[in-house]
Chain A
Amino acid sequence: DTGVSQDPRHKITKRGQNVTFRCDPISEHNRLYWYRQTLGQGPEFLTYFQNEAQLEKSRLLSDRFSAERPKGSFSTLEIQRTEQGDSAMYLCAGGDRSVTGANVLTFGAGSRLTVL
């Protein structure tokens, strides 16, 4: 257990439905990332928050995707009108600074989305 919690772990939905994923990082994580990972690929960046501010968003992120971090603690990622191509693992990571000064990511276990 890394301390970064994601919910739900698995979600099966029909095409066209909306889904929401939640991430609870460790309290010290003022930085929070969402990534998407499809089978056989590395994680692909979706968006980044510093506290409650969304500072970077992938150009690949369509307007069906929205993320929030209202109080700078937990975050939600919503996908509207899901498509089969949205089927993937959605990973959340908290950003921290190591004792040597390196910025490192601590990942949650992920939320797997299957769109039928």
Chain B
Amino acid sequence: GEDVEQSLFLSVREGDSSVINCTYTDSSSTYLYWYKQEPGAGLQLLTYIFSNMDMKQDQRLTVLLNKKDKHLSLRIADTQTGDSAIYFCAERPPGTYKYIFGTGTRLKVLA
């Protein structure tokens, strides 16, 4: 199918780590992406990973990729209240120009 799947909600305490999971559809997708959406705003690119990598670290963000299982995760270390938002994973399968987005995971950070 064409559904990129994510769990809908995640709640963590400030200072803890958050892990957001995603299952994508096409193991041939060259890049996998994470976007963040704050209320009333468009999507903002957070990070991406090339499909021949297993892990990418970017400051507080760590992306893990399991290509065999088509599983992508985003770990946010030392989660802050400003990280509260909706997080979308996305892929762009070969043979199409379109990016396919997941349904989004709403992260709530409790002070």
Contacts and interface: CB of A to CB of B under 8 A. Distances in A.
Interface of A: 2, 4, 31, 33, 35, 40-45, 48, 50, 55-56, 58, 91, 93, 98, 100, 102-110
A56 B98 contact: yes
B110 interface: no
B48 A104 contact: yes
- The interface residues of chain A, by DSSP majority, are classed as strand
B36 to A, nearest CB: 11
A91 B100 contact: no
Given A104-B33, A106-B45, A107-B42, A42 B88 contact: yes
B11 interface: no
Given A42-B4, A45-B100, A48-B98, A100 B50 contact: yes
Interface of B: 4, 31, 33, 35, 40-45, 48, 50, 88, 92, 96-104
B82 to A, nearest CB: 18
A48 B96 CA distance: 10
Contact of A43 (B41, B43, B48): B43
A58 B88 CA distance: 20
Contact of A109 (B42, B45, B97, B100): B42
A107 B99 contact: no
A45 B4 CA distance: 13
